[in-house]
Amino acid sequence: MIRIENLHMRYRSAQGEVDAVRGVSLQVAEGQFYTLLGPSGCGKTTTLRCVAGLEKPTSGEIGIGDHIVFSSRQAIHVPAHRRDVGMVFQSYAIWPHLNVFDNVALPLREGKKSYSGKEIEEKVRGALHLVKLGDLEKRPAPFLSGGQQQRLALARALAREPHVLLLDEPLSNLDAKLREETRLEICDLVKQLGITTLYVTHDQIEALVMSDVVAVMSMGVIVQEGPPKEIYQSPRERFVADFIGMANFIEGSVESPGEENGATGQVKTASGRLRCLLPSGSACGDSVLILVRPEDITLCHDRSTTQENVLPGRVEIVAFMGDSLDCQVMVDSQIVRMKLHPDVDLSRGQKVWLYLPPQRCRAIRR
Amino acid sequence: MFRVEAIRVPWLRAMDINPWPYLVLGLVSFLVLAPLSLLVLGSFSTARLPTDFSLAQTGLQNYLKVYLDPLTYELMGNTVIYVSGSVALGISLALTLAWLVERTDMPAKILIYAGVPMTLAVPGMLQAMAWVLLLSPRIGMINRGLMESLGLAEAPINIYSLGGMIFVEGLRLVPTAFLMLIPLLRSMDPALEEAAATSGINPSATIRKVTLRLLAPGLFAVMVYQAMTALEIFEVPGILGLPSRIFVFSTKIYAIIHSATLMPVYGQANALAMIYLLIAVVTTYFYSRMIGRAERFAIITGKGYRPRPQELGAWKIPALAVASLYLLLAVVLPFLVFLYASFLPYLQIPSAAALKSFTLKNYRLLATYGEVGSALKNTAIMVVVTATATTLLSFFISLVIVRSRFWGRKLLDQLAFAPHAIPGIVMGLAFVWVFLRLDFLPIYGTIWAMVIGFTTNFISYGTRAMNASLLQIHKELEEAAYVSGLPPWRTMRRIFLPLMMPTFAGVWIWVVLHAVRIAGMPLMLYEGSQNQVLAILIWNMWDEGYIPAAAAIGTLLMLSLLLLTLLVRSVGFRTQRADVGGR
Ligand SMILES: Nc1ncnc2c1ncn2[C@@H]1O[C@H](COP(=O)(O)OP(=O)(O)O)[C@@H](O)[C@H]1O
Ligand SMILES: [Mg+2]
């Protein structure tokens, strides 16, 4: 279990002060895969490094398992080497002067707990086997490929059987195809070991695919936290919707709020009335932003089929992407993006009607 | 592209041959190979003087004499102790300082960053002399002070010893090693050490098992480089070892030629110089291999934030004390001692009486003493001509190496680098042979002999610097000027020269700073007041016991070198890291 409470981290450098983390609180349950997702510079790495003990936070409290490892109030700061963690660095930080075996063995040989030579050998073999590096034991570290270095870093972090695993963008240095494979492997591995994992990435797909819980960070704070599906489908802020996946935003104001509990209501927009899901407690006249994902919008050929939520538009750009047809449609003076089946026949300049299903239109407060 | 244009010799043109590269190659071959071959030939000469040398009088006698002499083996032993001792002292000090400023929260780091390179401004000869004034058994101020205050009958410390040589040379090796270690520490990915911490390895094991191991190849290269420096230097073992007849290679060769009692035997000096040269060449070869290996470890570096500095806590004060003590010993104390001695009518330890006897007599003497004037003039001419010649020659050599397709450019590169491995004293000896044997060059005993000797020695540095900066000036920069309509000579003036200017200035100043302080090679080529330069003048005054007068010149020299170094640094000519080593 990892518990972070009201964490603040301020860097003082020659260029001035940077508030890298500004009040992060989170809790990673035992065995959970928790991901910090956010754009570069939002403070993810800093948060992770505070948990590892590589940075000393300005204030707040951090607990790992049953131990408090940092608390500004109680003046506790456990140094990194006495925390029960394993960490994979973005650069992998494989020790270049050691071979594969010794890279994994060094933490066991030099760590607090002492193991017999045989135990060490067993543990190292086990860890290397887990990451499928069993047959490269003797290879010097500089002769490993990027993917192998990544696995080795993981084996090294796991060999000590730490209570929690910290991963800082472990896939960002791999090429696209390898990244996809490794994503699933890491996921399987940590699930199989049941280890509590704090994962950092700026890649939304990674976060959605791998995590039990995703926390979206921006400028040093967590903006929204929840299971991947919830984060994707019901973002509570424009930033979250924008950062994860593609989204269309339509401005409007509430005309008639629906009944309580996820019911739909009417919103007046520049292009007409739209029925959509409103945030609870909306009142008449609230200004809102309606969010529709491109893949949720469909075409209808004449507007008589459904009266509601149909907007007229003109096709501006059609791009064939192989597995989909991405198009941009001008609705009044706004571009709406949609993602269609590749077989759909559309051409530039064509007049179309768009159907925005009410259950897929989500209004958020502005 | 700017190329040395062909001379218009019709028949060469017709054969499509550009004579410039041949000219450069010929000149460099002569400068490097003539002295070396005469050195080798001379080692077999049974005639005592180079002028008597003939092929009829050759044999192995010199080698037998040198290698059967047990003193030669004592000499080797001394050299090994002296070199390894001073390297060990110098490197551990430099590593400590570099680690303190790069990786800890030591206060007043700027003191070290700025102060350590300044110690380069103190010439080895003056550094050694200052320590004689402090620690000689007879006149050393510290010794005398200790004897008086503790009531000792004998001086507790003797600087005229291997230990003394190691101490002074060790101090002198620090700045260059420091400047080489800083980038080494900086280029190391801090994540490599952090990975150890997050793997549960405690800090001291991290230093032993990760940091030092990672530094090892680079550290070893620095050690080899410094061993070469210590092996080559003449002044420190000369001042500290000659009086007590403790010889190392460089001083022994000098002593064979300049023995006061025996007639010089040049052949023997050559025979001894051959192994000395061999060791130096092997070390240099080793060093270049090392550099190649060190690069293998230069791997993935992280995002460029410095790791969190190690908190020194209570160790802050001792750390600051070590750092200040080094600066005190390396610059402050030597300078103060010289300053003090330069005001004395005769040498005495500091006391109220001594302070009362302060006089400007020594400085006045310098102004009136004829030899000072001629030495200054000689030095000025020698230094300026050497610096200019080195800069120009290096430039032309590098132009051929980097910018031409001349078949011999690899050879030229190696020839130009070769003098790097040749100790100054050996080079001096070799040039004695050249100037005495090749009588179409009637310059023996003039400053021009020194100019040629120094230039040959310094083109190894000059061509390295020029090669590097020529390689950085991409042809496209000039081509961009051509396609913008600039004619070649304008391109050269507007693009090429401005880009090369910092390198020209850098090499020129480097040569000045070095040529003015080195005494070894000039001493070999010195014949009398007509080619006496400042370094020799100080050496001679010291030798003859005019210590306060020597101190006065030394003070002025140190002061001007300090100012020049300060100026160079503040203007921003960052001399390349590996090449700042003084003598
Ligand atoms: N050691 C440091 N010194 C100064 N500023 C830092 C340091 N490390 C990170 N920062 C700054 O803190 C902010 C957050 O950085 P980081 O946590 O690395 O972001 P992320 O990992 O989300 O990309 C950035 O603005 C970064 O520039
Ligand atoms: Mg990061």
Report A:232-271 residues touching B (Cβ under 8 A). none
**Stretch B326-333: mean pLDDT, rounded?**
94
Separation in Å, CA B66 to CA B49, B107, B267, B268: 17, 54, 10, 7
A246-365 has which fold?
OB fold (Dihydrolipoamide Acetyltransferase, E2P) (2.40.50)
pLDDT at B1: 40
Give the A:B interface size as CB pairs under 8 Å. Answer: 99
Q: What is this model's ipTM?
A: 0.81
| Amino acid in position A327 | C
Identify the CATH assignment for A2-239 out of 3.10.580.10, 3.30.470.10, 3.40.50.300, 1.10.760.10: 3.40.50.300
* Residue A208 touches partner B, C-beta closer than 8 Å: no
Q: How far is the CA of B434 from the centre of ligand 2 (A)?
A: 64
pLDDT at B10 over 60: no
pLDDT at B24 over 50: yes
Choose the most confident range, by mean pLDDT, from B173-177, B480-484, B566-570: B173-177
Instruction: Tell me the percentage of chain A whose pLDDT exceeds 70.
Output: 98
Q: How far is the CA of A11 from the centre of ligand 1 (A)?
A: 8
* Listed range (A298-302, A341-345, B5-9, B95-99) with the worst mean pLDDT: B5-9
Residue B204 Cα, gap to closest chain A Cα (Å): 10
Q: How confident is the model at residue B583 (pLDDT cuts 50, 70, 90)?
A: very low
| Closest chain B residue to A164, measured at CA | B198
Q: How confident is the model at residue B205 (pLDDT cuts 50, 70, 90)?
A: very high
Q: At what angle do helices B370-403 and B19-43 cross, to 10 degrees?
A: 120
* Listed range (A325-339, B162-176, B284-298, B536-550) with the worst mean pLDDT: B284-298
pLDDT at B500 over 90: no
Contact (CB, 8 A) for A86 and A157: yes
Q: Do B198 and A160 lie within an 8 Å CB cutoff? A: no
Report B:293-352 residues touching A (Cβ under 8 A). 296-297, 299-303, 308
* Most B-contacting residue of A9, A54, A55 (CB-CB within 10 A), to test interface: A54
Nearest atom, ligand 1, residue A21 CA: 14
Contact (CB, 8 A) for A28 and A196: yes
Contacts of B205 in chain A (CB under 8 A): 110
pLDDT at B348: 82
Ligand closest to Cα of A36 equals 1
| Closest chain A residue to B203, measured at CA | A81
How does strand A33-37 pair with strand A196-201? Answer: parallel
Atom 11 (ligand 1) nearest CA: A20
E strands, A143-247, in order: 164-168, 196-201, 213-218, 221-226
All structural domains of chain B: 1-33+360-544 (1.10.3720.10), 71-349 (1.10.3720.10)
Q: Do A95 and B214 lie within an 8 Å CB cutoff? A: yes
Nearest neighbour of A91 by CB, restricted to B191, B216, B308: B191
**Stretch A335-341: mean pLDDT, rounded?**
92
- CB of A74 within 6 A of ligand 1: the answer is no
pLDDT at B580 over 60: no
pLDDT at B74: 93
Tokens of B271: 């025979």
Of A241, A230, A11, A96, the C-alpha closest to B191 is: A96
Ligand closest to Cα of A172 equals 2
Mutating to test ligand 1, I would choose from A45, A48, A87, A198 the residue with most ligand atoms within 8 A of its C-beta, which is: A45
Q: How confident is the model at residue A262 (pLDDT cuts 50, 70, 90)?
A: low
* Residue B507 touches partner A, C-beta closer than 8 Å: no
Nearest neighbour of A111 by CB, restricted to B199, B297, B308: B199
- CB of A218 within 6 A of ligand 1: the answer is no
Contacts of A97 in chain B (CB under 8 A): 213-214, 216, 297
Tens of pLDDT, residue by residue over B89-136, are 999 999 999 999 988 889 888 888 888 888 888 899 999 999 999 999
**CA–CA dist B376, B384 (Å, integer):** 12
pLDDT at A97 over 90: no
**CA–CA dist B469, B463 (Å, integer):** 10
- What are the boundaries of each domain within chain A? 2-239, 246-365
Residue A89 Cα, gap to closest chain B Cα (Å): 7
**CA–CA dist B35, A239 (Å, integer):** 76
Q: How far is the CA of A217 from the centre of ligand 2 (A)?
A: 12
pLDDT at A327: 92
